[in-house]
Amino acid sequence: MAFNKSILLLGIFLVMATSKVFSYNEDLKMQVSYTKPPVGATSVPPKPPGTTTPPPPLTTTVPTPPKAKAPYTPVVKVPPPPFVKSPSYPPPPPPPTPTPTPPKVISPPTPYHPPVVNPPVTPTPAPPTSPIVKSNKDCVPRCGYRCQLHSRTRVCMRACMTCCERCKCVPPGTYGNREKCGKCYTDMVTHGNRSKCP
């Protein structure tokens, strides 16, 4: 609310200031003619009779002759430079006329024979590469080879013998390849849910 009042006061101030300036300018432009107050009567000396001033002599103005214009100088055309013939080049050879090529013979399309789809063949499970252990006596040499690089050989041998007796298989090599002995070997775990078979 106070903001509106301040804007209103500012507007009024501007209107008053501009009107004052305009009236001041008008006062400067206006000229006031003051009349002189009558001063005591001044006596004009009387002219002596019979003395008149002769009229001034007549002066006649002699017309000045018109100014003579300078003679007109005609515009001289400069002759164009001599025409120099450009060297002539031999005309370009005509484009070779294309020889008509015989139309291509399009053989009729061969009838579409759908490919014969063979029914999918179920792959036969590959036999385990390591021979199945026939008796518990065969587990000892296989587990010995499997555990020879283990840091704790006796612990590895004990676990390997247990897995070999139950699953009748020992994976080839010293490490890995556990999937070659099947689900029995890979799914056997300890009480702590760790893989039992090496």
pLDDT in tens, 129-160: 555 778 888 899 999 999 999 999 999 999 99
Let me know if residue 128 belongs to a domain.
Answer: no
Residue 30 forms part of a structural domain: no
- Determine, yes or no, domain membership for 7: no
pLDDT of 155 reads 93
Assess if residue 153 is contained within a domain: yes
- The reply to whether 159 falls in a domain is yes
Count of domains for the chain: 1
Please indicate, yes or no, if residue 121 is contained in any of the structural domains. no
Residues 6+ apart with CB under 8 A from 167: 181, 182, 184, 185, 188, 197
Q: Which domain holds residue 156?
A: 136-187
Residue 113, domain member (yes or no): no
pLDDT computed for residue 132 by the predictor: 72
pLDDT digits (tens, 9 = 90+) for 74-128: 777 777 777 766 667 777 777 777 777 777 778 777 878 778 777 777 766 655 5
pTM of the predicted protein model: 0.35
Share of the chain above pLDDT 70, in %: 66
Query: Residue 55 pLDDT > 80, yes or no?
Result: no
Is position 155 within any domain?
A: yes
